Amino acid sequence: MGHYVDVEKNVQLFVEDLGEGQPVVFIHGWPVNHKMFEYQMNELPEKGYRFIGIDLRGYGKSDKPWGSYDYNTKADDVKKVIDALGLDDVILGGFSMGGPIAIRYMARHNSHKVSKLVLMAPAAPVFTQRDDYPHGLEKSGVDDIISNLQSDRPAMLEEFGKMFFAGEVSDAYAHHFHSLGMEASSYGTIHSAVSLRDEDVRGDLSSINVPTLSLHGRKDEICPFDFSLELEKSISDFTLVPFENSGHGLFFEEKEKFNQELLSFFNK
């Protein structure tokens, strides 16, 4: 079942809402949408959980305004969805760019209605290198991505897709995954890349006061495994599960382990 939720004047977000039970809210990564979690939405409702997948502004079936692709606005959008659906005892999950958005939500909204946090290959605490942070891309690398998006977005996303998985995926799946990125607006994709380049959630980590799970592929070339090691230093109740055979796309590459680790954490 799909809902549209008003988050500001003339901006509605699409939300996939399946099953009954404790709600699990999924925030997708750049530049796709909630359909990346297909293999979780197939299973979680069967296990007694309510799957809720949000298409962020600019992505999927949601409205695509010109501006406001910063983490604060996206975190506020998530709160408006949680409140509009009347959710409580939420398990909040963020993949890649969704990771720092989930972290920002926890800090900015004081863990509102959230009882557990799941980070999946998070683009956090910082996606790009700083003087005091040696991990991730240099900022100039994201500038190159933005330039390539402006010149040939389909080709850039195809190259990005090749970096996503450590092993081979079928041509059919690669085409499907590429199509999810093409559903997004070009400008939302670019503006979100600017947020990934410039934002920093290190100051938010101390406010996370719920059990937190991070699932991360050791072969991740987009959000290095070191990101989760950095998070582990600053989040008090933190469990890190490495995926030895996965890159960034661990939700598909090791989907059975991925789903089992989610369910084990949910059931604790």
Which one-letter amino acid corresponds to residue 233? K
Rounded Cα gap, residues 46 and 50, in angstroms: 9
**Whether residue 220 lies in the annotated active site:** yes
Question: Does 3 qualify as catalytic in the annotation?
Answer: no
264 tagged catalytic: no
The sign of the dihedral angle between the CA atoms of 254, 104, 90, 117 is positive
Q: From the candidates 62, 96, 195, 246, which is the catalytic residue?
A: 96
Of 28, 220, 228, 246, the catalytic one is 220
Q: Which candidate in 28, 34, 191, 248 is catalytic?
A: 248
Q: Which long-range contacts link 175-182 to residues 24+ away (Cβ below 8 Å)?
A: 177/32, 177/36, 178/154, 180/32, 180/33, 180/35, 180/36, 180/60, 181/31, 181/32, 181/157, 182/153, 182/154, 182/157
Distance in angstroms (rounded) separating the CA atoms of residues 50 and 101: 21
Which residues are catalytic, by number?
96, 220, 248
